[in-house]
Amino acid sequence: MAQALTIGGEVQTKSWWVPLGNTGIVVPRLSIGTGTYGWGGSSAQTRLGFRECVRLLLTAYEHGVAWFDSADQYGSHPHVREALKSIDREKVIITTKTTARSSEQARQDVQRFLKELGTDYIDIVLMHCLVDSNWATTMRPVMEALSEAKERGFIRAVGVSCHSFAALKVASEHPWVDVILARLNYDGMHMDGKPSEVLPVLETAMRNGKGVYAMKVLGQGGLTRSPEKAIRFVFESGIPAATIGMVSEAEVKQNVQIARQLFPQD
């Protein structure tokens, strides 16, 4: 069993809702991902069909998964928008991601995302799929545009979705980063390094006040034979939250039940 991290001198609480680093955002332990096998405007969730995907989001919300992890590349913004028609906006967290490579494109993306999601603000916007160790220099125009949107109240927190160990290490220390979405599972499947290499970097990030949540918890489907082992590993390693790409009500119920055993308090 992995040992829980002690962040800031305090052991993780048993609450289902937890502060996401120093962002001021409080999130549920689980987020529903909408990008399973997703890119180019489509994913396993959106391929369920519009109504079915919306129903899945609402089912997740009803089970306490009040955090929708979306992205421009998943094509899931319209589905989140429709789900928000049945939910109090203030009671759900929304993440999305941009692949912009210029300040102008980033500004256009933020405004388009707001319209597509049907909201006045987005809780978290991440620069999507970073792999370059020099991203803090090459992505500076995008970072400045996202910071501007944050100052104007369009975004609550900014950050990165990392897909290389080098990019992750930079993110763990960089002052611009509020939130890191990192690949983590017990087997090292589809990760940026071995768990023993990645976890110390994530610990550093959290000590630096970054909000950290895990993806690829089930190894992009490769670890579904033992979901309890996979989910427990992430949380017992001290990571406060995780996003899992669920595609059915049965998966939502299963994963929530596993996580609720660790975090029973509301």
Burial of 253 (0-12, 13-18, 19+ CB in 10 A): middle
Cα 93 from Cα 24, distance rounded (Å) = 12
Contact 127, 167 (CB under 8 A): no
Task: Give every CB contact of residue 194 below 8 A, 6+ residues apart in sequence.
Answer: 188
Distance CA 171, CA 16 (A): 26
Q: DSSP letters along 97-139, please?
A: EE---SHHHHHHHHHHHHHHHT-S-EEEEEEEEE--TTHHHHT
Share above pLDDT 70 across residues of the chain, in percent, rounded to a whole number: 95
Q: What is the pLDDT of residue 184?
A: 97
137 φ/ψ angles, rounded to the nearest 5 degrees:
-95, -50
| Rounded-to-integer distance, Cα 190 and Cα 213, Å | 16
Q: Which two tokens stand for residue 163?
A: 């897909």
Alpha-carbon distance of 203 to 1, in angstroms, equals: 17
> Could you read off the pLDDT of 125-172 as tens digits, one per residue?
999 999 999 999 999 999 999 999 999 999 999 999 999 999 999 999
**Mean pLDDT, to the nearest integer, of 24-38?**
96
- Is the pLDDT reported for residue 15 higher than 90? yes
pLDDT at 13 over 90: no
Distance CA 150, CA 159 (A): 11
Task: Compute how many other C-beta atoms are within 10 angstroms of the C-beta atom of residue 113.
Answer: 23
At 171-183, the pLDDT tens digits run: 999 999 999 999 9
In the chain, what's the furthest Cα-to-Cα distance?
47
- Burial label for 51, CB within 10 Å (0-12, 13-18, 19+), is exposed
Domains of the chain: 27-244 (3.20.20.100)
Per the model's pLDDT, the better-predicted residue between 2 and 50 turns out to be 50
185, 230 contact by CB (below 8 A): yes
Residues contacting residue 237 through CB under 8 Å, at least 6 positions apart: 2, 3, 4, 5, 184, 195, 199
Q: Tell me 256's DSSP state.
A: H
Rounded to the nearest integer, the mean pLDDT of the chain is 94
CA–CA separation, 51 vs 46, rounded Å?
A: 9
Q: What pLDDT is attached to residue 12?
A: 56
